[in-house]
Amino acid sequence: MSNTTNKLNTNYTLILGAEGLLGKSLAREVARKKCNLILVSTTNLDLQRFAIELQLKEDVQVEALKLDLANKESVLSFTESIRKSYEIRALINNITCDWSVPHNKCIAEIAQEDFLTRFRGAALVTMGLLPHMKEHSASYIQHIIPFPFKKDQFNAEMQSSVGKIYAFAKELDEELKDTGVSVSMVHPVPMKSLMQEFEVFDGLAGEINSMATQLIAVKAVNGMLRGDRLIIPGFRNKARYFLSRQASTLLRSSEESLESYLIPGA
């Protein structure tokens, strides 16, 4: 869809991990385009009140559900129920971490969980809905993937999960390139200056403030509708992302601990 001011060509958009600041901002932007929503909380946070407020404000249908991604039977049952009851044209996967909060912190409850378990559950939902989504002339899968400049910014579980989500998104993109399903990745990290990450550039640039979550959501949803594969909100963030790919090439030769899978596209 070239005109991103139009409505989403879908009956329902499902957002996994809609309970954080960025998840709610994504929901607001999708609703603003007059698309019905299924908001899935993957923690104990309740989205019912938010769903009602959004439904009344934007005059769309909004369902609020909870899902334990660690329970395989629950995930399979949930996916089957969604497939039977709703026409899903867009799936936004925001389960890894809400990087819209200050200082790059996760939602507290998510930070205590097994990220790999969450990834496996989200992958099951995606693969369960995919045959249904492939039947449509146009549908969308979007992964919100936090992007670190250095390995030690994430704990070991999250490093592995982020790498798996990135690899999963790339595999989906390759598998679905000749279908009507568009796959996109969003790196929404409020990135610090790359220059400050490496001592040789220390002092050449200051801190970069986080972008407003609603602005990130606008760029994410509009980019999804355009069919953009990689979405990095903010010009300076884009520049630092591509600079980091070049820097990682040099660093890998002397710092084996820097995993290549944490540098998407490297």
Provide the domain limits for residue 203. 12-262
Q: Is residue 4 part of a domain?
A: no
What span, in angstroms and rounded, lies between the C-alpha atoms of 184 and 186? 7
> Using alpha carbons only, how large is the chain's radius of gyration in Å?
18
Lookup: tokens for 249: 């090439």
> Considering the domain boundaries, does residue 1 fall inside one?
no
Q: Is residue 94 predicted with pLDDT exceeding 60?
A: yes
Element (H, E) at 171: helix 156-175
Q: Is the pTM of this model over 0.85?
A: no
195 neighbors 204 (Cβ within 8 angstroms): yes
Averaged confidence pLDDT in the chain: 76
Round to whole Å and give the CA distance between 263 and 266: 6
Residue 143 β-bridge partners: 93, 185
Quickly state the pLDDT bin for 263 (edges 50, 70, 90): very low
3-state secondary structure of 193: coil
CATH number for position 174: 3.40.50.720
Q: Which of 33, 92, 105, 43 shows the shortest CA–CA distance to 69?
A: 43
Alpha carbon distance, N-terminus to C-terminus of the chain: 29
Q: Determine the average pLDDT of the residues in 216-239.
A: 88
For the chain, what is the domain count? Answer: 1
Query: Which value, to the nearest 10 degrees, does the dihedral of the CA atoms of residues 161, 165, 170, 176 take?
Result: 150
For residue 212, the model assigns a pLDDT of 77
Whether 2 maps to a domain, the answer reads no
- C-alpha 117/C-alpha 19 separation (Å) is 18
